[in-house]
């Protein structure tokens, strides 16, 4: 089973990308406490509708809960050294605290959007 749940704050505004087929992808770094005195960072990637909501509502400093799958990227640098990093592919992002950006034109009663996990493209 590959399941991870993190609560933390965005380190910067999300970056938005599109595939050649037009699928939206959002990426951001999430800071979370691993111990009382240690903060860690992990890259979060969201797809499709989740990415649209990330772009519209999230910003640097926003507090979110992310549920998803841990994924590892591996590559070789220009000198042939093997490198790797971990990231989280988000299934669900729950907004805990934002500055209200994007909500001013939202007429729904629920200002805490959640996206179901069937949004992940694999």
Among the listed residues 98, 94, 105, 7, the one whose alpha carbon sits nearest the alpha carbon of residue 58:
98
Interval 97-120: pLDDT, tens: 877 766 665 544 445 555 555 555
* Domain spans in the chain, listed from the N-terminal domain onward: 4-119
Q: Where are the beta strands (DSSP E) in 1-121?
A: 4-10, 15-18, 24-35, 38-47, 63-76, 82-97
Q: Is 68 helix (H, G, I), strand (E, B) or coil?
A: strand
Interval 32-85: pLDDT, tens: 998 889 999 999 999 999 999 999 999 999 999 999 999 999 999 999 999 999
Domain boundaries 4-119, CATH class: mainly beta
């Amino acid at each position: 089973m590959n399941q991870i749940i993190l609560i933390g704050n965005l380190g910067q505004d999300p970056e938005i990308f599109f595939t050649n087929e037009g699928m939206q992808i959002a990426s951001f770094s999430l800071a979370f406490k691993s111990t009382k005195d240690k903060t860690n960072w992990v890259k979060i990637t969201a797809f499709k509708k989740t990415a649209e909501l990330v772009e519209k509502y999230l910003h640097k400093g926003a507090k979110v809960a992310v549920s998803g799958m841990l994924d590892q990227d591996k590559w070789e640098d220009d000198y042939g050294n093997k490198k790797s990093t971990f990231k989280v592919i988000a299934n669900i992002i729950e907004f805990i605290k934002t500055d209200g950006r994007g909500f001013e034109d939202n007429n729904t009663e629920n200002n805490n959007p959640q996206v179901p996990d069937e949004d992940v493209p694999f």
